[in-house]
Chains A and B, each alone.
Chain A
Amino acid sequence: MSNERICDVLIVGAGATGSLAALVLAKAGLDVVCLEQGSWVEPQDHPHLHADWAWQRRTKWSPDVNKRSHADDYPVKSDSSQILMWNGVGGSTNVYGAIWPRYRPSDFRKGTEHGLQPDWPISYEDVAPFYEEADKLVGVSGLAGDRAMPPREACPTRAMPPSKVAQRLGAAFDKLDWHWWPVEAGAISEDYDGRPACNNCGICNGCPRGSMSKYSMSIWPKALEAGTELRINARVLKVEKGTDGRATGALYIDRNTGQKHFQRAKLVIVAANGIGTPRLLLASDNLANSSDQVGRNLLHHTLVGVEMWVDEPVDGHIGYVASLISRQFAETDVSRGFVNGFNFNCITSTSSAGELAAGWFTSAKAPWGKEHHSWFERHFGHSIGVFAIGDDLPNPENRVTLDPVLRDSDGVPAAVTHYQPGENDKRMMNYMLDRLEDLAKAAGAFDYSLHDYRDQEGVYRTPAWHMIGTCRMGADPANSVVNKWNQAWDVPNLFIVDGSVLATGGVVNPTPTISALALRAAGYIRDNFESLTTASRSVQAA
Chain B
Amino acid sequence: MNRPEGFPRNHADLSPLDGARLLAIFVDELIPGAENWPPASMAGVHGIVAMRICDASGQGDLSDLLDAILAAGGLTESGSPEERASVVAKVETANNALFERVRAAVFLAYYETPFVTQAIRRLGRPYASRPHIAGYTMRPFDPARDTPGHNRGFYVSTNDVRPVDTSGLNLDRTHTERWGIER
Residues of A that sit less than 8 Å from B by CB: 48-55, 58-59, 104-106, 108-109, 112-116, 123-125, 143, 145-150, 158-163, 170, 174, 177-182, 189, 198-203, 208-209, 304, 313, 315, 317-319, 327-328, 330-332, 334, 337-339, 351-355, 357-359, 365-366, 368-370, 372-373, 377, 380-381, 422-424, 426-427, 429-430, 433, 450-452, 454, 458
Pick from B37, B103, B171: contact of A423, CB below 8 A.
B171
**CB-CB nearest 5 A-B residue pairs:** A199-B135, A148-B153, A354-B111, A452-B180, A161-B138
B155 touches A162 (CB 8 A): no
A370 touches B138 (CB 8 A): no
Which of chain A's residues have a CB closer than 8 A to the CB of B136?
Answer: 199-202, 318-319
Which of chain B's residues have a CB closer than 8 A to the CB of A339?
Answer: 164, 166, 169
Interface size grouping (class) on chain B? 35 or more
Q: A59-B56, A358-B104, A451-B181 are in contact. Are A372 and B155 (CB under 8 A)?
A: no
Which of chain B's residues have a CB closer than 8 A to the CB of A105?
Answer: 155-158, 161
A354 touches B130 (CB 8 A): no
B141 touches A161 (CB 8 A): yes
Within 8 A of A (CB), among B93-127: 103-105, 107-114, 116-117, 120, 123, 125-127
B181 touches A145 (CB 8 A): no
Q: Once bound together, how far apart are the Cα atoms of A337 and B146, in whole Å?
A: 36
Q: Once bound together, how far apart are the Cα atoms of A108 and B158, in whole Å?
A: 8
Which of chain B's residues have a CB closer than 8 A to the CB of A200?
Answer: 135-138
Pick from B127, B135, B152: contact of A178, CB below 8 A.
B152
Provide the main secondary structure of the chain A interface: loop
Within 8 A of A (CB), among B72-87: 85
Pick from B132, B153, B164, B168: contact of A209, CB below 8 A.
B132
Residues of B that sit less than 8 Å from A by CB: 29-32, 34, 36-37, 52, 55-56, 85, 88, 92, 103-105, 107-114, 116-117, 120, 123, 125-127, 129-141, 143, 146-148, 150-158, 161-166, 168-169, 171-172, 174-176, 179-183
A372 touches B31 (CB 8 A): yes
B88 touches A369 (CB 8 A): yes
Which of chain B's residues have a CB closer than 8 A to the CB of A181?
Answer: 148, 153
Which of B105, B107, B182 has the most chain A CB within a 10 Å cutoff?
Answer: B107
A149 touches B143 (CB 8 A): no
Q: Quick one: closest A residue to B145, CB to CB?
A: A162
Which of B30, B139, B148, B183 has the most chain A CB within a 10 Å cutoff?
Answer: B148
Q: Once bound together, how far apart are the Cα atoms of A355 and B110, in whole Å?
A: 11
Q: Quick one: closest B residue to A319, CB to CB?
A: B138
Q: A161-B141, A334-B166 are in contact. Are A318 and B126 (CB under 8 A)?
A: yes
Which of A108, A318, A429 has the most chain B CB within a 10 Å cutoff?
Answer: A318
Q: A54-B108, A162-B146, A163-B138 are in contact. Are A199 and B162 (CB under 8 A)?
A: no
B166 touches A366 (CB 8 A): no
Give min CB distance, A120 to chain B, whole Å. 10
Give min CB distance, B72 to chain A, whole Å. 14
B130 touches A50 (CB 8 A): yes
B107 touches A354 (CB 8 A): yes
A331 touches B155 (CB 8 A): yes
A328 touches B126 (CB 8 A): no
B108 touches A354 (CB 8 A): yes
